[in-house]
Amino acid sequence: MKKTTYNGIFILLFLIIFGCKKENNKQDISGKMENISTSDYGVTSKGDSIKKYTLTNKNGMKVEVINFGGIITSLTAPDRNGKYEDVVLGFTKPEGYFDGNPYYFGALIGRYGNRIANAKFSLEGKAYEIDKNDGPNSLHGGKEGFHTRFWNIEVVKDVKFPTLKLSYTSADGEEGYPGKLTTTVFYTLTDDNALEISYEAETDKPTVVNLTQHSYFNLSGNFTKTITDHEMQINADKFLPVNETLIPTGEQKAVKDTPFDFTVSKPIGKEINADDDQLKKGKGYDHNWILNGKGLRSIAKVYHQGTGRLMEVFTDEPGVQFYSGNFLDGKFDTKTGGKNEFRTGFCLETQHFPDSPNQPSFPSTELKPGQKYQSKTIYKFSVKK
Protein backbone atom coordinates (compact mmCIF):
# COMPACT_ATOMS: atom_id res chain seq x y z
CA MET A 1 0.00 0.00 0.00
CA LYS A 2 2.83 2.35 0.84
CA LYS A 3 4.55 1.73 -2.52
CA THR A 4 1.28 2.26 -4.37
CA THR A 5 0.73 5.56 -2.53
CA TYR A 6 4.18 6.83 -3.49
CA ASN A 7 3.60 5.83 -7.10
CA GLY A 8 0.28 7.67 -7.11
CA ILE A 9 1.89 10.82 -5.70
CA PHE A 10 4.69 10.60 -8.24
CA ILE A 11 2.24 10.25 -11.13
CA LEU A 12 0.16 13.16 -9.82
CA LEU A 13 3.22 15.44 -9.56
CA PHE A 14 4.33 14.40 -13.05
CA LEU A 15 0.94 15.27 -14.50
CA ILE A 16 0.88 18.64 -12.73
CA ILE A 17 4.38 19.60 -13.90
CA PHE A 18 3.83 18.32 -17.43
CA GLY A 19 0.45 20.03 -17.60
CA CYS A 20 1.92 23.36 -16.50
CA LYS A 21 4.74 23.05 -19.03
CA LYS A 22 2.28 22.22 -21.78
CA GLU A 23 0.13 25.20 -20.84
CA ASN A 24 3.16 27.49 -20.83
CA ASN A 25 4.08 26.24 -24.30
CA LYS A 26 0.61 27.14 -25.51
CA GLN A 27 1.00 30.62 -24.11
CA ASP A 28 4.41 31.07 -25.77
CA ILE A 29 3.08 29.98 -29.14
CA SER A 30 0.04 32.21 -28.77
CA GLY A 31 2.27 35.17 -27.87
CA LYS A 32 4.40 34.71 -30.98
CA MET A 33 1.37 34.47 -33.23
CA GLU A 34 0.02 37.70 -31.79
CA ASN A 35 3.05 39.48 -33.32
CA ILE A 36 1.75 38.84 -36.84
CA SER A 37 -1.86 39.28 -37.92
CA THR A 38 -3.45 38.73 -41.32
CA SER A 39 -6.40 40.46 -42.96
CA ASP A 40 -8.02 40.82 -46.38
CA TYR A 41 -6.72 43.78 -48.37
CA GLY A 42 -8.34 43.70 -51.82
CA VAL A 43 -8.64 41.93 -55.16
CA THR A 44 -6.57 42.77 -58.24
CA SER A 45 -7.92 43.09 -61.78
CA LYS A 46 -6.49 39.62 -62.42
CA GLY A 47 -8.59 38.20 -59.60
CA ASP A 48 -5.79 37.69 -57.07
CA SER A 49 -6.99 38.02 -53.48
CA ILE A 50 -4.47 40.19 -51.67
CA LYS A 51 -3.72 39.80 -47.98
CA LYS A 52 -2.18 42.26 -45.56
CA TYR A 53 0.26 41.07 -42.91
CA THR A 54 0.89 43.25 -39.87
CA LEU A 55 4.09 42.73 -37.87
CA THR A 56 4.22 44.22 -34.36
CA ASN A 57 7.19 44.33 -31.98
CA LYS A 58 7.19 44.60 -28.18
CA ASN A 59 7.31 48.41 -28.35
CA GLY A 60 4.20 48.74 -30.49
CA MET A 61 6.02 49.50 -33.74
CA LYS A 62 4.15 48.10 -36.75
CA VAL A 63 4.98 47.20 -40.34
CA GLU A 64 2.23 46.33 -42.82
CA VAL A 65 3.05 44.26 -45.91
CA ILE A 66 0.85 43.01 -48.75
CA ASN A 67 1.48 40.02 -51.00
CA PHE A 68 1.13 42.20 -54.10
CA GLY A 69 4.58 43.49 -55.00
CA GLY A 70 5.83 42.66 -51.50
CA ILE A 71 4.75 46.22 -50.78
CA ILE A 72 5.20 47.91 -47.40
CA THR A 73 1.99 49.93 -47.07
CA SER A 74 2.74 51.30 -43.59
CA LEU A 75 5.64 51.53 -41.15
CA THR A 76 5.39 53.32 -37.82
CA ALA A 77 8.18 54.89 -35.78
CA PRO A 78 8.20 56.80 -32.47
CA ASP A 79 8.77 60.52 -32.04
CA ARG A 80 10.47 62.11 -29.03
CA ASN A 81 7.19 61.93 -27.09
CA GLY A 82 6.82 58.20 -27.75
CA LYS A 83 4.09 58.68 -30.36
CA TYR A 84 4.17 56.10 -33.16
CA GLU A 85 3.21 57.44 -36.58
CA ASP A 86 3.35 56.08 -40.11
CA VAL A 87 6.54 57.34 -41.85
CA VAL A 88 6.24 55.79 -45.34
CA LEU A 89 4.26 57.22 -48.23
CA GLY A 90 1.53 55.18 -49.86
CA PHE A 91 -1.87 55.15 -51.46
CA THR A 92 -5.15 55.54 -49.60
CA LYS A 93 -6.85 52.80 -51.66
CA PRO A 94 -5.62 49.34 -52.75
CA GLU A 95 -6.23 50.24 -56.40
CA GLY A 96 -3.36 52.70 -56.26
CA TYR A 97 -0.95 49.81 -55.80
CA PHE A 98 -2.75 47.43 -58.14
CA ASP A 99 -3.12 49.85 -61.07
CA GLY A 100 0.53 50.40 -61.94
CA ASN A 101 1.93 52.08 -58.79
CA PRO A 102 3.73 54.73 -60.89
CA TYR A 103 5.93 55.82 -57.98
CA TYR A 104 6.80 52.25 -56.87
CA PHE A 105 5.55 53.11 -53.37
CA GLY A 106 6.89 50.59 -50.84
CA ALA A 107 7.58 47.88 -53.44
CA LEU A 108 10.15 45.15 -53.85
CA ILE A 109 12.09 45.91 -57.02
CA GLY A 110 13.46 43.34 -59.47
CA ARG A 111 14.83 41.78 -61.43
CA TYR A 112 16.97 44.85 -61.81
CA GLY A 113 16.60 47.89 -59.57
CA ASN A 114 17.35 51.22 -61.23
CA ARG A 115 18.05 51.83 -64.92
CA ILE A 116 19.61 49.82 -67.72
CA ALA A 117 20.63 51.95 -70.74
CA ASN A 118 18.65 51.51 -73.94
CA ALA A 119 16.84 48.54 -72.35
CA LYS A 120 19.45 46.05 -73.49
CA PHE A 121 22.63 44.30 -72.41
CA SER A 122 24.88 41.41 -73.39
CA LEU A 123 25.73 38.45 -71.22
CA GLU A 124 28.26 35.78 -72.12
CA GLY A 125 28.19 36.90 -75.74
CA LYS A 126 24.41 36.92 -76.11
CA ALA A 127 22.36 40.11 -76.49
CA TYR A 128 19.13 40.64 -74.55
CA GLU A 129 16.43 43.25 -75.01
CA ILE A 130 14.33 44.01 -71.96
CA ASP A 131 11.20 46.07 -71.38
CA LYS A 132 11.64 49.74 -72.28
CA ASN A 133 9.54 51.64 -69.75
CA ASP A 134 11.55 54.81 -68.98
CA GLY A 135 12.17 56.71 -72.19
CA PRO A 136 14.91 54.79 -74.01
CA ASN A 137 15.81 52.83 -70.86
CA SER A 138 14.47 50.06 -68.68
CA LEU A 139 13.64 51.02 -65.09
CA HIS A 140 13.11 48.78 -62.05
CA GLY A 141 12.71 45.52 -63.96
CA GLY A 142 10.22 46.77 -66.54
CA LYS A 143 6.57 47.77 -66.56
CA GLU A 144 5.56 44.47 -64.99
CA GLY A 145 8.54 44.01 -62.72
CA PHE A 146 8.49 42.44 -59.28
CA HIS A 147 6.49 45.41 -57.95
CA THR A 148 3.43 44.16 -59.89
CA ARG A 149 3.73 40.45 -59.05
CA PHE A 150 1.86 38.23 -56.64
CA TRP A 151 4.26 37.05 -53.92
CA ASN A 152 3.72 33.98 -51.80
CA ILE A 153 3.99 34.92 -48.11
CA GLU A 154 4.61 32.58 -45.20
CA VAL A 155 4.88 33.40 -41.51
CA VAL A 156 8.24 32.11 -40.31
CA LYS A 157 7.89 30.05 -37.12
CA ASP A 158 10.26 29.45 -34.22
CA VAL A 159 12.19 32.69 -34.66
CA LYS A 160 12.95 35.40 -32.11
CA PHE A 161 11.23 38.26 -33.94
CA PRO A 162 8.17 38.43 -36.23
CA THR A 163 9.33 37.45 -39.72
CA LEU A 164 7.69 37.03 -43.11
CA LYS A 165 9.10 34.94 -45.94
CA LEU A 166 8.14 36.22 -49.39
CA SER A 167 8.87 34.17 -52.49
CA TYR A 168 8.37 34.66 -56.21
CA THR A 169 9.60 32.69 -59.22
CA SER A 170 10.22 34.76 -62.34
CA ALA A 171 9.94 32.73 -65.55
CA ASP A 172 12.73 32.52 -68.10
CA GLY A 173 12.23 35.47 -70.46
CA GLU A 174 9.98 37.50 -68.15
CA GLU A 175 10.32 41.16 -69.16
CA GLY A 176 13.16 39.96 -71.43
CA TYR A 177 15.48 38.67 -68.71
CA PRO A 178 17.15 35.26 -69.16
CA GLY A 179 16.78 32.36 -66.75
CA LYS A 180 14.16 31.21 -64.28
CA LEU A 181 14.90 33.27 -61.18
CA THR A 182 13.68 32.08 -57.78
CA THR A 183 13.64 34.97 -55.32
CA THR A 184 13.11 34.92 -51.56
CA VAL A 185 12.87 37.98 -49.32
CA PHE A 186 12.59 38.04 -45.53
CA TYR A 187 11.05 40.97 -43.63
CA THR A 188 11.93 40.92 -39.91
CA LEU A 189 10.81 43.47 -37.31
CA THR A 190 13.14 43.49 -34.31
CA ASP A 191 12.59 44.79 -30.79
CA ASP A 192 15.12 47.58 -31.29
CA ASN A 193 12.76 49.11 -33.89
CA ALA A 194 14.64 47.87 -36.94
CA LEU A 195 13.20 46.47 -40.15
CA GLU A 196 15.61 43.90 -41.54
CA ILE A 197 15.30 42.94 -45.22
CA SER A 198 17.21 39.90 -46.46
CA TYR A 199 17.29 39.00 -50.15
CA GLU A 200 18.14 35.67 -51.80
CA ALA A 201 17.95 34.53 -55.42
CA GLU A 202 18.98 31.58 -57.60
CA THR A 203 18.84 31.04 -61.36
CA ASP A 204 18.99 28.20 -63.87
CA LYS A 205 20.69 30.33 -66.56
CA PRO A 206 23.20 33.20 -66.42
CA THR A 207 21.27 36.41 -65.68
CA VAL A 208 21.57 39.79 -63.95
CA VAL A 209 20.04 40.61 -60.58
CA ASN A 210 19.83 43.82 -58.56
CA LEU A 211 17.11 43.72 -55.89
CA THR A 212 16.05 46.61 -53.67
CA GLN A 213 13.18 48.09 -51.65
CA HIS A 214 11.45 51.27 -52.79
CA SER A 215 9.83 52.78 -49.69
CA TYR A 216 9.54 56.57 -49.54
CA PHE A 217 10.16 58.03 -46.10
CA ASN A 218 8.92 61.20 -44.46
CA LEU A 219 9.96 61.21 -40.81
CA SER A 220 7.67 64.11 -39.96
CA GLY A 221 4.69 61.76 -40.17
CA ASN A 222 2.86 64.41 -42.22
CA PHE A 223 2.97 63.48 -45.89
CA THR A 224 2.01 66.95 -47.11
CA LYS A 225 5.30 68.36 -45.78
CA THR A 226 8.45 68.31 -47.89
CA ILE A 227 11.52 66.36 -46.80
CA THR A 228 13.94 69.21 -47.48
CA ASP A 229 14.24 69.94 -43.73
CA HIS A 230 15.42 66.38 -42.99
CA GLU A 231 19.12 66.25 -42.12
CA MET A 232 21.02 63.53 -43.97
CA GLN A 233 24.45 61.95 -43.78
CA ILE A 234 25.72 59.43 -46.36
CA ASN A 235 28.94 57.51 -45.80
CA ALA A 236 30.27 57.98 -49.34
CA ASP A 237 33.15 59.95 -50.81
CA LYS A 238 32.07 59.48 -54.43
CA PHE A 239 28.90 59.39 -56.52
CA LEU A 240 27.97 58.49 -60.10
CA PRO A 241 27.22 61.42 -62.42
CA VAL A 242 24.47 60.76 -64.98
CA ASN A 243 23.54 61.78 -68.51
CA GLU A 244 20.27 63.37 -69.66
CA THR A 245 18.33 60.08 -69.25
CA LEU A 246 19.83 59.46 -65.77
CA ILE A 247 22.21 56.71 -66.90
CA PRO A 248 25.64 56.83 -65.20
CA THR A 249 28.34 58.24 -67.48
CA GLY A 250 30.90 55.82 -66.01
CA GLU A 251 32.72 58.54 -64.09
CA GLN A 252 33.13 58.11 -60.33
CA LYS A 253 33.22 61.66 -59.03
CA ALA A 254 34.33 62.91 -55.62
CA VAL A 255 31.52 64.53 -53.63
CA LYS A 256 33.85 67.09 -52.05
CA ASP A 257 33.00 70.69 -52.96
CA THR A 258 29.75 69.61 -54.65
CA PRO A 259 26.09 69.62 -53.54
CA PHE A 260 26.46 65.81 -53.34
CA ASP A 261 28.67 65.95 -50.27
CA PHE A 262 26.70 64.40 -47.41
CA THR A 263 29.76 63.13 -45.54
CA VAL A 264 28.73 65.58 -42.81
CA SER A 265 25.03 65.75 -41.96
CA LYS A 266 23.14 68.61 -43.59
CA PRO A 267 19.55 69.44 -44.56
CA ILE A 268 18.48 67.74 -47.79
CA GLY A 269 17.26 71.10 -49.07
CA LYS A 270 20.46 73.03 -48.31
CA GLU A 271 21.86 72.74 -51.85
CA ILE A 272 19.14 70.89 -53.70
CA ASN A 273 18.34 73.93 -55.87
CA ALA A 274 21.97 74.87 -56.52
CA ASP A 275 23.09 75.84 -60.02
CA ASP A 276 24.51 72.39 -60.71
CA ASP A 277 24.27 70.42 -63.95
CA GLN A 278 23.73 67.09 -62.18
CA LEU A 279 20.92 68.45 -60.00
CA LYS A 280 19.25 69.89 -63.07
CA LYS A 281 19.37 66.53 -64.85
CA GLY A 282 17.83 64.74 -61.88
CA LYS A 283 15.44 67.58 -60.97
CA GLY A 284 17.12 67.20 -57.59
CA TYR A 285 18.90 64.19 -56.14
CA ASP A 286 18.36 60.97 -58.11
CA HIS A 287 21.87 59.50 -58.09
CA ASN A 288 23.84 56.56 -56.83
CA TRP A 289 26.44 57.08 -54.11
CA ILE A 290 29.47 54.77 -53.98
CA LEU A 291 29.46 53.65 -50.38
CA ASN A 292 32.58 53.53 -48.24
CA GLY A 293 33.55 50.20 -46.69
CA LYS A 294 32.38 46.66 -47.30
CA GLY A 295 30.12 44.17 -45.57
CA LEU A 296 27.10 45.05 -43.46
CA ARG A 297 27.79 48.57 -42.16
CA SER A 298 26.07 51.86 -41.36
CA ILE A 299 25.81 53.84 -44.59
CA ALA A 300 23.32 56.64 -43.93
CA LYS A 301 21.49 58.55 -41.20
CA VAL A 302 18.46 60.80 -41.55
CA TYR A 303 17.19 63.02 -38.74
CA HIS A 304 14.00 65.07 -38.47
CA GLN A 305 14.44 67.76 -35.86
CA GLY A 306 10.74 68.52 -35.48
CA THR A 307 9.84 65.02 -34.27
CA GLY A 308 13.24 63.79 -33.07
CA ARG A 309 13.00 60.74 -35.36
CA LEU A 310 16.28 59.25 -36.52
CA MET A 311 16.58 56.59 -39.23
CA GLU A 312 19.85 54.73 -39.73
CA VAL A 313 20.45 52.53 -42.77
CA PHE A 314 22.77 49.51 -42.82
CA THR A 315 23.62 47.45 -45.91
CA ASP A 316 26.20 45.16 -47.46
CA GLU A 317 25.57 46.65 -50.93
CA PRO A 318 28.19 48.80 -52.72
CA GLY A 319 25.79 51.64 -53.52
CA VAL A 320 22.68 53.53 -52.51
CA GLN A 321 20.34 55.51 -54.74
CA PHE A 322 19.25 58.64 -52.91
CA TYR A 323 16.09 59.94 -54.54
CA SER A 324 14.49 63.13 -53.25
CA GLY A 325 10.98 62.53 -54.62
CA ASN A 326 11.43 64.82 -57.62
CA PHE A 327 8.75 63.11 -59.73
CA LEU A 328 5.98 63.17 -57.12
CA ASP A 329 3.37 65.31 -58.81
CA GLY A 330 0.35 65.67 -56.53
CA LYS A 331 -1.92 63.31 -58.48
CA PHE A 332 -2.81 61.13 -55.51
CA ASP A 333 -4.11 61.65 -51.99
CA THR A 334 -1.78 61.01 -49.06
CA LYS A 335 -2.63 58.91 -46.01
CA THR A 336 -2.63 62.08 -43.86
CA GLY A 337 -4.74 64.22 -46.18
CA GLY A 338 -3.64 66.48 -49.02
CA LYS A 339 -1.59 65.27 -51.99
CA ASN A 340 1.72 63.53 -52.60
CA GLU A 341 3.43 66.65 -53.87
CA PHE A 342 6.95 67.36 -55.15
CA ARG A 343 9.63 66.20 -52.67
CA THR A 344 7.30 65.01 -49.93
CA GLY A 345 9.22 61.73 -49.61
CA PHE A 346 12.74 60.40 -50.08
CA CYS A 347 14.16 56.97 -50.91
CA LEU A 348 17.42 55.32 -49.91
CA GLU A 349 17.51 52.31 -52.24
CA THR A 350 20.45 50.08 -51.36
CA GLN A 351 21.73 48.32 -54.47
CA HIS A 352 24.46 47.66 -57.01
CA PHE A 353 25.10 50.45 -59.48
CA PRO A 354 22.68 51.41 -62.28
CA ASP A 355 23.48 50.07 -65.75
CA SER A 356 26.12 47.68 -64.36
CA PRO A 357 25.47 45.05 -67.10
CA ASN A 358 26.72 47.61 -69.65
CA GLN A 359 29.58 49.04 -67.60
CA PRO A 360 32.40 46.54 -66.93
CA SER A 361 34.13 48.88 -64.47
CA PHE A 362 31.14 48.63 -62.08
CA PRO A 363 30.72 45.73 -59.61
CA SER A 364 29.15 42.80 -61.45
CA THR A 365 25.46 41.98 -61.12
CA GLU A 366 25.73 38.67 -62.98
CA LEU A 367 24.30 35.58 -61.32
CA LYS A 368 25.16 32.11 -62.62
CA PRO A 369 23.55 28.71 -61.99
CA GLY A 370 24.87 27.21 -58.77
CA GLN A 371 25.50 30.64 -57.24
CA LYS A 372 23.28 32.28 -54.63
CA TYR A 373 22.50 36.00 -54.62
CA GLN A 374 22.39 37.29 -51.04
CA SER A 375 22.03 40.80 -49.68
CA LYS A 376 20.82 42.49 -46.50
CA THR A 377 19.57 45.95 -45.62
CA ILE A 378 18.34 47.31 -42.28
CA TYR A 379 16.29 50.45 -41.59
CA LYS A 380 16.59 51.22 -37.88
CA PHE A 381 14.51 53.86 -36.11
CA SER A 382 15.27 55.67 -32.88
CA VAL A 383 14.79 59.07 -31.22
CA LYS A 384 17.37 61.80 -30.90
CA LYS A 385 16.53 63.98 -27.91
| Residues known to be catalytic | 214, 349
Residue 341 near residue 332 (C-beta atoms within 8 A):
no
**What SS3 state is found at 222?**
coil
Residue 62 near residue 37 (C-beta atoms within 8 A):
no
Residue 370 near residue 182 (C-beta atoms within 8 A):
no
Q: Rounded to an integer, what distance in angstroms lies between the CA atom of residue 341 and that of residue 128? A: 37
232 - beta bridge partners? 266, 302
**Size of the chain, expressed as the number of residues it contains:** 385
Give the other-Cβ count within 10 Å of 359's Cβ.
17
Q: Rounded to an integer, what distance in angstroms lies between the CA atom of residue 126 and that of residue 122? A: 5
157 - beta bridge partners? none
Own/partner long-range contacts of 335-339 (Cβ < 8 Å, ≥24 apart): 335/74, 335/86, 335/89, 335/90, 335/91, 335/92, 335/223, 336/86, 336/221, 336/222, 336/223, 336/224, 337/224, 338/223, 338/224, 339/224
